[in-house]
Amino acid sequence: MEAFTYTYPVTVYFGEGAAKEHLAAELAKHGPTVLLAYGGGSIKRSGIYEELTAILHAAGKTVVEFSGIMSNPTYEKVQEGARLAREHRVDFILAVGGGSVIDCCKIVSAQAKLEADIWDCEYADHRLPTEFLPMGAVVTAFGTGAEMNNGAVITHTEKKLKSPLWGAFYDFAILDPAYTMTMPMGQVVSGAFDTLSHCMETYFGSPREDNLSDELSEAVMRNVIRNLRRTIETPEDRFARSELVWAAAMGENGILKLGKATDFQCHMMEHQLGAYTDCNHGRGLSALHVAYYRYIVEMAPDKFAKFACRVWGVDPAGKSELETAYAGLDALAVFIREIGVPSNFRELGIPDDLPWQEIADSVMLTSGGYGHLTHEDVRKIFEACR
């Protein structure tokens, strides 16, 4: 294990009725004007909007609405939220939704307190923001675990970049599994695959030796696989849904990453695929993961063999270490088909005539995983996905 310091700023309220029980007390800690952020309006159809605004008004809050946050939030949308926050002298941000809403507000929180352009600050000046509007998150769509960290993925349409930015941590996160029961099953599946991807991206980084963080990650991955199958079979199963909600949080609250380097190269590839196509994040990951891992498996056959046996239940008897590793990737590919997410770009609906070398050249290269790719390697992986 590498050395680490672990502190965690987010208070998590988990369980049915968590908003009714805890939100008013959290709101009482802040000033009178609240920016209520949400997406396309599903929270109004589900009744969540009515429930939360009743709590806000009972707490004496003035509500400023920031709606229409898209599934891949844009930098323009971030700036819109920051302008609203400044103009209305917002005291607190309440983000209600999934990863897109929650990510967008992390950067709104920082940009509202910053005179300079936050993209330039972080990418040109290499300075991170230090002042933020306080925030709370109410999770209605799970998978990203975005409420658990201060990183956000934002699409800069002018630059054709879908890139990470760093903003604020949430003061608290409300995880009520009942709020997620109206999610379309396609969104449930793609979100859960994103959770699985987070665990895999963390798992396939040093050290290779058995360590507690990886063993916890193996347990979370097995849990996601089991409960996603259970949810697909019985969508109204509240227990399975609650397990998936907490697994998503576990994937991004930092515990699985303690003492480790991480990979996240597949995420970087998907981000730029999304910048050029606006594809769904979880489905983009499912189209990429197997091809990426087949490309690097021989760089770490021992770790991929552990993944095969401990996560997918592959029997290593009569197999070499590398054969066992490939059997695990076969099991991952079968699971992707089983749950109905894309296994290649054609199934994802991505046209074949995109500027693939240009996209590959724009991908941020990571150094924590076993395969340290070049942009030419990325292009070859893209070709394998087509």
Give the phi and the psi of residue 155 in degrees, each rounded to 5: -95, 120
Q: Which residues of the chain have pLDDT under 50?
A: none
Supply the pTM of this predicted model. Answer: 0.95
Question: What gap in Å lies between CA 277 and CA 233, rounded to an integer?
Answer: 31
Query: Which residues neighbour 381 within 8 Å (Cβ) at sequence distance 6 or greater?
Result: 269, 288, 291, 292, 295, 373
Task: State CA 282 to chain mean position distance.
Answer: 9
* Confidence (pLDDT) at 75: 97
Check: CB of residue 283 under 8 Å from CB of residue 343: no
* Confidence (pLDDT) at 82: 98
What does the domain layout of the chain look like in residue ranges?
A: 11-180, 185-385
Check: CB of residue 17 under 8 Å from CB of residue 162: no
For 179-200, what is each residue's pLDDT tens digit?
Answer: 999 999 999 999 999 999 999 9
Amino acid at 17: G
For 152-177, what is each residue's pLDDT tens digit?
Answer: 999 999 999 999 999 999 999 999 99
* Confidence (pLDDT) at 2: 80
* C-beta atoms surrounding 15 within 10 Å: 15
Residue 333 in tokens: 């590919």
* Confidence (pLDDT) at 383: 97
* Confidence (pLDDT) at 18: 97
The fold of 11-180 is Rossmann fold (3.40.50)
Question: What gap in Å lies between CA 8 and CA 176, rounded to an integer?
Answer: 20
* Confidence (pLDDT) at 37: 98
Check: CB of residue 167 under 8 Å from CB of residue 126: no
CATH number for the region 185-385 comes to: 1.20.1090.10
* Confidence (pLDDT) at 5: 86
C-alpha dist (Å) from residue 67 to 39, 94, 100, 344, 363? 5, 12, 12, 33, 30
Residues in the chain: 386
CA-based nearest residue to 252, from 110, 340, 142? 142
* Confidence (pLDDT) at 1: 73
